[in-house]
Amino acid sequence: MRIALMTILLAACTTAVALMIVFRGEAAQPGVLLYGLPPDTESEVKEVVANIDRIEADALKSASSRSLDPHQQVIALGKLLLFDKQLSVNRNESCTFCHMPETGFTGPISSLNATTVAYPGSVRTRFSQRKPQTHTYATFAPILHYNVLQGDLVGGNFWDMRATGTRLGNPAAEQAQAPPLNAVEMGFPDPACVVYRLSQSPYRWLFEKVWGLEAFVIQWPTDVERVCAKPAPAPSDDPLPVHLSPGDRGNSNRTYDEMGQAIAQYEASPEVSPFSSKYDYVQGGKVKFTPQEQRGYNLFRSNRSHCNECHRDGGPGEEPLFTDFTASNLGLPKNPDIPFYRESVPDEYGYAANPRGLEFIDEGVGGYLLLRQPGQQLSGRPNPNTEWASLATKFNGKF
Ligand code: HEC
Ligand code: HEC
């Protein structure tokens, strides 16, 4: 009996050690998924990336072969940007890697949705702390503002509202500027790297047609390739490692703004935000709900469920967008299966995304207002309204 138990214990220890060796071995190779992910993940990732490449190639062909009016041009440009994996440090991750059309523009990888929830970045061993949101209808969010009558913050993009829209007048355009610079997402150390990659892209002509020939008139330093192949974050003593003259930096920043604006235009277009659900057809008087659907809708609107108090289905002067653009604390506990909670030790590039490990608590909007979100200093902009910092406690845990 005792010997049998010992044998089991020994076998268990050997397996544990073997597993540790396997995972450590994997950590040393860039591009390999970590943390004992389901075996399907690698093949699903390959399939998704192949689909992305196919959609990008088709979009390029269609943009080159048709004559587009100016509005169609900016939308076509936005699509090419959204599906372009060159806009990530390791040239392996487009925006749509985490936002594919077939899953309503949220994460397309079933084995990850069932386990990690969060998605790996261009450095495949890094995961962020949150689930990708769908960006369908995200462009309808107003600029983040404090509504005095509601006593609430309203608008912005991201779970924590931090893409405020206060600078470009468009939350979605500012949102699109964050993932390329997020160390756990597309991972560039400098926004100028994105502009440099765009200057080499096969659709540069379309970018110039939409925004003007000056978009890429920039004197690039000779080491730009090398600097931009190194994943974020930039060294703390050299926060903008692509060294540009002030004029070129200004031009690069403007081109980066224009990239965000084109992406937002595509997200707002019917291809991404089509208003073609059964609900929309019922509103348009084209079809009817089944009796069961009607009962569900009645319940959704009733005082028994309270769903439509937050997921607003319209009212006087209000479109039914199934959100009120505020944030709420739904009382959900942390999900320790999100790999971010284990990213406490420096990776192969010396970066630890979450030094606090399992201690980390995502404070949502409250964390943003106090600039306490991990990585926020790298990829986001500080809360634009200093008065809002005093609201932070009230917004802790709201998403
Ligand atoms: C590695 C996965 C990943 C990549 C790549 C990525 N996203 Fe996201 N996206 C997310 C996650 C996670 C969130 C929520 C993040 C948060 O709240 O901090 C998000 C949120 C968003 C939102 C906010 C939606 C809303 O309703 O507020 C939009 C829009 C969006 N992403 C568009 C993009 C665009 C455009 C790109 C490329 C420039 C991109 N994403 C690249 C994972 C990703
Ligand atoms: C107090 C406001 C509030 C009420 C009431 C509420 N929700 Fe939500 N709901 C939210 C917030 C905030 C989120 C997103 C944030 C999160 O997931 O933490 C959300 C997310 C959802 C989602 C996921 C959407 C997505 O894109 O991932 C669904 C579905 C949903 N709610 C349905 C319902 C239903 C059905 C009811 C009524 C039974 C309901 N909600 C009541 C605030 C509310």
What pLDDT digit, counting tens, does each position of 286-302 carry?
999 999 999 999 999 99
Compute the mean pLDDT over every residue in the chain, rounded to the nearest whole number.
90
Average pLDDT, stretch 249-264?
98
326: CA distance to ligand 2 center in Å? 11
Closest to 181 (Cα-Cα) out of 79, 66, 95, 278: 95
What pLDDT is recorded for position 23?
A: 37
**Are the C-beta atoms of 347 and 126 separated by less than 8 Å?**
yes
Residue 110 and residue 41: Cα distance in Å, rounded?
8
Asked if residue 317 has pLDDT above 60, the reply is yes
Nearest CA to ligand 1 atom 29: 135
Which part of the chain is CATH 1.10.760.10?
5-275+321-395
Q: What percent of the chain has pLDDT over 70?
A: 88
- Identify the weakest region by mean pLDDT among 91-100, 266-275, 299-308, 382-391: 382-391
Asked if residue 15 has pLDDT above 90, the reply is no
Average pLDDT, stretch 232-251?
96
What pLDDT is recorded for position 13?
A: 45
Q: Which ligand is nearest to the CA of 334?
A: 2
Q: Which CATH superfamily is domain 5-275+321-395 in?
A: Cytochrome c-like domain (1.10.760.10)
What pLDDT is recorded for position 54?
A: 98
Asked if residue 161 has pLDDT above 90, the reply is yes
- What residues are paired with 163 via a beta bridge? 157
Ligand 1 pocket member 171 (CB < 6 A) = no
Asked if residue 10 has pLDDT above 50, the reply is no
Nearest CA to ligand 1 atom 41: 95
Closest to 164 (Cα-Cα) out of 381, 391, 311, 398: 381
What pLDDT is recorded for position 386?
A: 84
What pLDDT is recorded for position 375?
A: 58
Helix ranges (DSSP H) in 83-127:
110-113
pLDDT single digits (tens) 121-146: 999 999 999 999 999 999 999 999 99
Q: Which ligand is nearest to the CA of 127?
A: 1
Q: What percent of the chain has pLDDT over 90?
A: 83
pLDDT single digits (tens) 322-359: 999 999 999 999 999 999 999 999 999 999 999 999 99
Beta strands in 167-315 (DSSP E): none
**Are the C-beta atoms of 132 and 109 separated by less than 8 Å?**
no
Residues 6 or more apart from 153 whose CB is under 8 A from it? 144, 145, 146, 147, 161, 326, 327, 365, 388, 391, 395
Ligand 1 pocket member 374 (CB < 6 A) = no
Q: How far is CA 398 from CA 148, 159, 329, 372, in A?
A: 18, 8, 4, 14
Ligand 2 pocket member 309 (CB < 6 A) = yes
Average pLDDT, stretch 24-30?
39
Residue 131 CA: nearest ligand 2 atom is: 27
Indicate the top mutation candidate among 100, 124, 185 to test ligand 1's pocket, ranked by most ligand atoms within 8 A of CB. 185
Asked if residue 162 has pLDDT above 60, the reply is yes
Indicate the top mutation candidate among 158, 368, 372 to test ligand 1's pocket, ranked by most ligand atoms within 8 A of CB. 158
For strand 145-147 and strand 152-154, is the pairing parallel, antiparallel, or unpaired?
A: antiparallel
Q: Which ligand is nearest to the CA of 158?
A: 1
77: CA distance to ligand 1 center in Å? 18
Q: Which ligand is nearest to the CA of 130?
A: 1
What pLDDT is recorded for position 370?
A: 85
Beta strands in the chain (DSSP E): 145-147, 152-154
300: CA distance to ligand 2 center in Å? 11
Ligand 2 pocket member 330 (CB < 6 A) = yes
Asked if residue 164 has pLDDT above 80, the reply is yes
Instruction: Give the burial class of 245: count Cβ atoms within 10 A of its Cβ; 0-12 exposed, 13-18 middle, 19 or more buried.
Output: exposed
Closest to 77 (Cα-Cα) out of 179, 217, 173: 173
Closest to 140 (Cα-Cα) out of 160, 154, 153: 154
Residue 399 CA: nearest ligand 1 atom is: 17
Ligand 1 pocket member 179 (CB < 6 A) = yes
Average pLDDT, stretch 91-105?
97
Residue 186 CA: nearest ligand 1 atom is: 5
Ligand 1 pocket member 263 (CB < 6 A) = yes
Nearest CA to ligand 1 atom 26: 138
Asked whether the whole model's pTM tops 0.85, one would answer yes
Closest to 182 (Cα-Cα) out of 171, 198, 194, 170: 194
311: CA distance to ligand 2 center in Å? 7
What pLDDT is recorded for position 383?
A: 83
Closest to 349 (Cα-Cα) out of 112, 17, 31: 31
377: CA distance to ligand 2 center in Å? 29
299: CA distance to ligand 2 center in Å? 15
226: CA distance to ligand 2 center in Å? 45
Asked if residue 113 has pLDDT above 50, the reply is yes
Ligand 1 pocket member 93 (CB < 6 A) = yes
**Are the C-beta atoms of 121 and 187 separated by less than 8 Å?**
yes
Average pLDDT, stretch 71-76?
98
Residue 306 CA: nearest ligand 2 atom is: 5
Asked if residue 374 has pLDDT above 80, the reply is no
What pLDDT is recorded for position 35?
A: 57
Residue 177 and residue 279: Cα distance in Å, rounded?
32
pLDDT band at residue 26 using 50, 70 and 90 as cut-offs: very low
Asked if residue 37 has pLDDT above 50, the reply is yes
Contacts 24+ apart (CB under 8 A), 225-229: 227/189, 227/190, 227/193, 228/89, 228/188, 228/189, 228/190, 228/193, 228/196, 228/197, 229/89
Ligand 1 pocket member 268 (CB < 6 A) = no
